[in-house]
Amino acid sequence: MAIVVDRDTRLVVQGITGREGSFHATRNKDYGTNVVAGVTPGKGGADVEGIPVFDSVREAVAERDANTAMVFVPARFAADAIFEAVDAGIETIICITEGIPAHDMLRVYNWVRPRGVTLIGPNCPGVLSPGKANVGIIPAEIFSEGGVGLVSRSGTLTYQIGHELTQLGIGQSTIVGIGGDPVVGSSFIDILGKFEADPETELVVMVGEIGGAEEEKAAAFIAGHLTKPVVAYIAGFTAPPGKTMGHAGAIISGSAGTAQAKKEALESHDVRVGTNPTEVAALVAETVAARA
């Protein structure tokens, strides 16, 4: 098992002939991910390191039975690429592209959602199920196979926490980077629900940051729907209001979106919140030991 990507993943990479697209498609393939096709309009018939390239996602699905798409096209064409993938019958879309206009994502989200498609990102590092499949730019060597599900709005912070877990000998089922934009395809709640249903996941680590109210909503969801323990981390306690901290979504506006409010919401539902990545890993180790 694992969630979102696994051994059944048949990946098509949209934007495969670009510099980043070809680099990461090749890396994902080398990891063992079943990369079956690439798409770049006008470059059908070419190949990238043995991966056949098609003009459209529809062709990639018809010819190579792709069921998952990774979007690596530039921001101004990314919404179009997602619409194309959904229209071609792709069930899981992972969008790495950053800088997509928020209004484009508003339309994408409201169109994709009722169609039952899983959209991860945009502006995310992707999804890794150690030992099974890696779709995106997550450095797999930091992680190891195991029972901790990791979901995060941030890339390198996730690597840091994964690294600390691995050093304590604690492996992971799936690592999901949901992205740092104001509108992302999957929320913490969506991913927490998937981890709850995944028999391989024993415990979930949720890594949030300032901005929005998704962590607060997740806190209520955890209380009502999760039987598995959750350990959380929130970044941005020292961030001043009104300043965007790198991610378009990481901004405190008025009294909403502060790290303190998120921490309190989580703790009020008995979720333990670590004050730094090292402490998060220690809390996970404690919880695992207590259950063993």
Partner 1 sequence: MDLYEHQGKELFRRHGIPVSEGRVATTPQEARSAADSIGDEVVVKAQVLTGGRGKAGGIRLADSPEEAREHAEAILGMDINGHVVRRLWIEQASDIGKEYYLSVTFDRGEKKPLFMLTTEGGVDIEEVAERNAEAIARLHVDPLVGFQPYQGRLLLFGAGIADPSEQKQIMAILEKLYEAFVAEDAMLCEINPLIVEPQGRIKALDSKFTVDDNALYRHHDIAEMRDLEAVPAEERAAREKGVTYVKLDGEVGILGNGAGLVMSTLDVIAQAGGRPANFCDLGGGGDAEGVVDALEVITADPQVRAILFNIFGGITRCDEVARGILAALGRLEIGVPIVVRLDGTNAEEGRQLLTEAAAGNLHVEETMLSAARRAVELAGGEA
Q: How far is the CB of 45 from partner 1 (least distance, A)?
A: 30
Q: How far apart are CB 292 and partner 1 at their closest, in Å?
A: 26
Q: What are the residues whose beta carbons fall under 8 Å from the beta carbon of 252, sequence distance 6 or more?
A: 210, 211, 236, 239, 240, 241, 242, 243, 258
Of 153, 175, 186, 182, the C-alpha closest to 249 is 182
Peptide bond before 122: cis, by omega within 30 degrees of 0?
Answer: yes
Which positions lie near partner 1, rule CB under 8 A? 75-76, 99-104, 106-107, 109-111, 137-139, 141-142, 152-160, 163, 180, 182-183, 207, 209-210, 212-214, 217, 233, 235-240, 243-250, 254-255, 259, 275-278
Considering beta carbons, is residue 61 or 108 the nearer one to partner 1?
108
DSSP assignment letter at 103: H
Nearest to 35 by CA among 45, 46, 20, 49: 49
CB of residue 231 vs partner 1: minimum separation in angstroms? Answer: 15
Name the percent of the chain in helix, strand, coil, to the closest 5. 40, 25, 40
Which listed residue (24, 103, 225, 247) is catalytic? 247
Based on CB atoms, which residue is closest to partner 1, 15 or 277?
Answer: 277
| Closest distance of CB 31 from partner 1, Å | 13
The Cα–Cα gap between 201 and 205 comes to 11
Closest approach of partner 1 to the CB of residue 50, in Å:
22
225 carries an active-site annotation:
no
- Axis crossing angle, helix 75-87 with helix 57-64, rounded to the nearest 10: 40
Nearer to partner 1, 37 or 207 (CB): 207
The nearer residue to partner 1, 32 or 99, going by C-beta atoms, is 99
The nearer residue to partner 1, 156 or 268, going by C-beta atoms, is 156
Neighbours of 224 (CB within 10 A): 7
**What is the distance between the alpha carbons of residues 179 and 249, in angstroms, rounded to a whole number?**
9
- Residues forming the active site: 247
